[in-house]
Amino acid sequence: MEQDQGCCGTQLIDGDGVFNVEGLDNFTKITKLSQCGLSYAIVAIMGPQSSGKSTLMNHLFRTNFREMDAIRGRSQTTKGIWMAKCVGIEPFTIAMDLEGTDGRERGEDDTAFEKQSALFALAVADIVMINMWCHDIGREQAANKPLLKTVFSVMMRLFSPRKTTLLFVIRDRTKTPLEYLEPILREDIQKIWAAVAKPEAHKSTPLSEFFNVEVTALPSYEEKEEQFEREVAELRQRFFHSISPGGLAGDRRGVVPASGFSFSAQQIWKIIKENKDLDLPAHKVMVATVRCEEIANEKLSLLSSDQGWLALEEAVQAGPVSGFGKKLSSILEFYLSEYENEAIYFDEGVRNAKQKQLESRALDAVHQAYEKDLLILFVPVLNLVWLNLIKVVKMLPLDRPIGMLQNVREKLCRDIETHAASVRSTKLTEIIAKYEKQIADALSGPVEALFEAGELDAWASIRKLLKRETEVAVSEFSTAVASFELDKPTIDTMVQNLREYGRKVVEKNAREEAGKVLIRMKDRFTMIFNHDNDSMPRVWTGKEDIRAITKDARSASLKILSTLAAIRLDEKSDNIENVLFSSLSDGTVSVPSSKDRSIGASSDSLASSTWKEVSPKATLLTPVQCKSLWRQFTAETEYSVTQAISAQEAHKQSNNWLPPPWAIVAMVVLGFNEFMVLLRNPLYLLVLFVVYLLSKALWVQMDITGEFRNGALPGILSISSRLLPTVMNLLRRLAEEAQGRQAPEAPMQQSFSLQNSRNQTQPDPISSTLPESSVSSSCISSTDNEAEYSSPNSTLRQSTKTSEE
């Protein structure tokens, strides 16, 4: 095993729980971790003290963690949490070596640090290796039981746990195969998971929702070092591209960008030390806020000291600068793009908010120079206008200069205001169109997907989506029109129009989906009816409850119908779903009789053109339309149900070889005398037994079951055409076998038969189907007086060759 000094090992947290901030910053700079973005992984290992964790990590990742000296006895080697860069692993991978559990140095009662370090590992690591002894598997009081309980219990302190891969490494593997050990270990894991106290929200959550469980086993390092290193090298390959789809951590979530890892780890450990619950989503937003603020301040500082900007600012003080706006825009775009490149992996909402702040602060920094340049350009224009105005005044009669000057001034002001209003109106129209398109693009696809899913909370999800996307668009719109100096009522009106536009987009999508509701219902019915819970195509074998499956599929389709019956953007409750299920869930649509119609149709809850508590404007499908659609839906899906029932009946008939029960009873009653005759004459039994053997041979040889799989008539035709040749072939083989037994066996023939039996490799298919009672093996004596036994087929061929000679 070759270790590399490039691993840059450092202690992250000491034995007293003190976080090594300076050491982590140095590690980040030396290894260039901050440049990795999201392309990095963290592997942590935990397990009992002195179980070889550091040794395994050093061999696996070529790190230089301190290992236990076995000559000095077993004692604590790793204190706190150590980290190092994994050498030669892609992508960038960090190895964390945690202090061993169940150590005598901390004592039996001091388990606080064990739980804190376990929670820290679960919060930051993508893969957690659990080192355990092979002889502990299946034992109730083994060292791994408290460790697993610790892992699962502290995991519940994460508000939204990450998807972590638990890699169980079984050390000092015994002769028991891994395929026998793994089920026992997984069963123990499930029992511990079921016994751990969980919050109400996760009472029925399966283990697979939070963890991917992998199991591997390694031989003893001390007794089989070469084999250990060889299998560790194979295990090492699994850590290459571990975060790619299909890798060990391919489905991880909630990853903090590498540039924010140092700050994130510090804050996580601080919260754990304060014994607070760790809200990972909120923590992720907090890390994004701090890091994006740092990046924005860094870029603003670089802008202030940029040589190009300083030269431009100095030049504008002396006079007009050619291409001032283009040069200034180029400088600003450079630093804004730098910010985007560094903050791209952080939370999108936080990143965009900090980018807007950076833009505002950058514009404030260059505003003075910008105004200076505009003023320099404006003065010559103003002087030119003033000179032209004076010339016009001098040409007027002496009695009209003052009045004319006043009129010209007023007209000029009106023209300027008119032009400004026209430009402003055009720009506002463009801005409004831009954000209306943004709202439409953000809502159309997700709304259609939610309607297609047909979940019970579809409208609740649509309301949340509408509110979120509308608020984003309104916020950006307000920032965009802030420079137009509009009054508050005008801005409020525009904002309200944007909100109304978002509602109209949802309503338009809802009406389009209501027009396709029958197609959606049939698609949902087909999906549920023809596929099982694992989305695999359903095979009708006769064991399925078609009635229950049909009811579930129709209920899911009815949910889609109830969802698209009305627009529910105002969070008002209605009774549409209950009415539809109570009237239609049995799969039938009641038609009132003439007597009922004479009394009134009030008993039919769907005999109406409006829904209670739903305005006509919000109605997409009236009760009468729902009733008609359901009748059409049941008629069009009835064929699928009928086909399934027919398939079940066909399967039952094809697999049922026994006569009906009444026929079996009749044969027993009517054949009692014949049965007694057989008992009194054992010769009959012998004849029947021989007949049974021949019939069994025919059954196997002709593959009766396979012939009838394609139907009764094809099976009968095929069997009838093959029956006589097969019977003749069997009789011929039996005759040849009998002749072979009666022929004398000379010594030369015996040796020749022995040679044939050794060269024979494939048994004859006909002979292989004969029962043992009808064909016996032959014994041939070799020259060295050792007995060799040949197959029945080889004996048959030997006898035939002897007769021919």
Q: Is 50 annotated as a binding residue?
A: yes
**What are residue 531's DSSP bridge partners?**
537
Total Cβ atoms within 10 A of residue 406: 10
Q: Is 319 annotated as a binding residue?
A: no
Q: What is d(CA 544, CA 538) in angstroms, rounded to the nearest whole number?
A: 9
30 HSE (CA, 13 A, CB side): 14
Q: Which two tokens stand for residue 222?
A: 């001390």
Extract the tokens encoding 647.
Answer: 């398939």
Give the C-alpha distances (Å, rounded to integers) separating 655 from 452, 538, 545, 709: 40, 18, 18, 9
Strands of the sheet containing 211-217, edge to edge, are: 10-13, 81-85, 92-98, 40-46, 127-133, 164-171, 211-217
Give me the residues paired with residue 211 across strands: 164
What is the torsional sign of CA 249, 250, 254, 260?
A: positive
> CA-to-CA distance for 630 and 633, rounded, in angstroms?
5
First to last CA, the chain: 70
* 151 contacts 130 by C-beta, under 8 angstroms: yes
Closest CA to 192 of 246, 232, 145: 145
d(CA 298, CA 35): 16
Degrees (nearest 5) of the Cα angle 282, 287, 289?
95
**Alpha-carbon gap, residue 103 to 109, rounded angstroms:** 11
688-693 long-range contacts (CB < 8 A, ≥24 apart) are: 693/771, 693/773, 693/774
Which pair of structure tokens corresponds to residue 273?
Answer: 């030390």
- State how far Cα 673 lies from the chain centre: 69
- 461 annotated among ligand-binding-site residues: no
The annotation status of 54 as a binding-site residue, yes or no, is: yes
Q: What is d(CA 458, CA 557) in angstroms, rounded to the nearest whole number?
A: 14
Omega before 91 cis (within 30°)?
A: yes
Contact criterion met (CB below 8 Å) for 132 and 182? no
* 403 in a labelled binding site: no
Q: Which H or E element spans position 97?
A: strand 92-98
Give the 3-state secondary structure of residue 386. helix
Tell me: is residue 49 an annotated ligand-binding position.
yes
The three-class DSSP label of residue 289 is: helix
| Type of residue numbered 233 | A
Residue type for position 683: L
Whole-angstrom distance, CA of residue 630 vs CA of residue 584 = 8
Number of Cβ within a 10 Å radius of residue 776: 11
Q: Are 334 and 327 in contact, with CB atoms under 8 Å apart?
A: no
The verdict on whether residue 701 carries a ligand-binding annotation is no
The residues, any chain, with a CB within 8 Å of residue 366's CB and separated by 6 or more, are 309, 313, 328, 332
Residues in the chain: 805
What is the pairing mode between strands 40-46 and 92-98?
parallel
Beta strands per DSSP E along 115-264:
127-133, 164-171, 211-217
Q: Is 48 known as a binding-site position? A: yes
Q: What angle do CA 151, 156, 161 make, to 5 degrees?
A: 90
Binding residues for GTP: 47-54
Binding residues: 47-54
